[in-house]
Amino acid sequence: MILLHAANHLDVLKPLLRFDHWLFHKINQIWINPFFDLVLPFARQQEFWYFFYLFLLVFSLYNFGIKGCWWAVSLIMTVIIGDLFSSSLVKSLIWRFRPCRDPELADQVRVLVNYCPQSSSFTSSHACNHFAAAWFIFITLNQTGSWRWLLFAWAFVISYAQVYVGVHFPLDIFGGAILGTAIGYSMSFLFQKQFGTLSLK
- pLDDT, one tens digit per residue, over 12-57 is 678 889 999 999 999 999 999 999 999 999 999 989 999 999 999 9
Q: What is the pLDDT of residue 6?
A: 57
Q: What is the pLDDT of residue 148?
A: 85
**Would residue 103 count as lying in a domain?**
yes
pLDDT greater than 60 at residue 144: yes
Q: What is the spatial distance between Cα 69 and Cα 64, in angstroms, rounded to a whole number? A: 8
Residues in a beta bridge with 95:
3
Measuring CA to CA, which residue among 165, 174, 182 is closest to residue 19?
174
Total domains in the chain come to: 1
**Would residue 19 count as lying in a domain?**
no
Residue 7's pLDDT band (cuts 50, 70, 90): low
Measuring CA to CA, which residue among 162, 97, 159, 99 is closest to residue 132?
159
Q: Dump pLDDT digits (tens) for 112-142.
A: 999 899 999 999 999 999 999 999 999 998 7
Main-chain dihedrals φ then ψ at residue 81, nearest 5 degrees:
-65, -45
**Would residue 166 count as lying in a domain?**
yes
pLDDT greater than 70 at residue 69: yes
Q: What is the spatial distance between Cα 138 and Cα 134, in angstroms, rounded to a whole number? A: 6
**Would residue 8 count as lying in a domain?**
no
In this structure, are residues 166 and 60 in contact, taking their beta carbons and an 8 Å threshold? no
Residue 87's pLDDT band (cuts 50, 70, 90): very high
Per-chain mean pLDDT for the chain:
91
Residue 196's pLDDT band (cuts 50, 70, 90): confident
Q: Which domain holds residue 125?
A: 57-201
**Would residue 51 count as lying in a domain?**
no
**Would residue 128 count as lying in a domain?**
yes
**Would residue 9 count as lying in a domain?**
no
Q: What is the pLDDT of residue 151?
A: 96
Q: What is the spatial distance between Cα 164 and Cα 107, in angstroms, rounded to a whole number? A: 16
**Would residue 112 count as lying in a domain?**
yes
Q: What is the spatial distance between Cα 43 and Cα 159, in angstroms, rounded to a whole number? A: 9
Q: What's this model's pTM, rounded to 2 decimal places?
A: 0.92
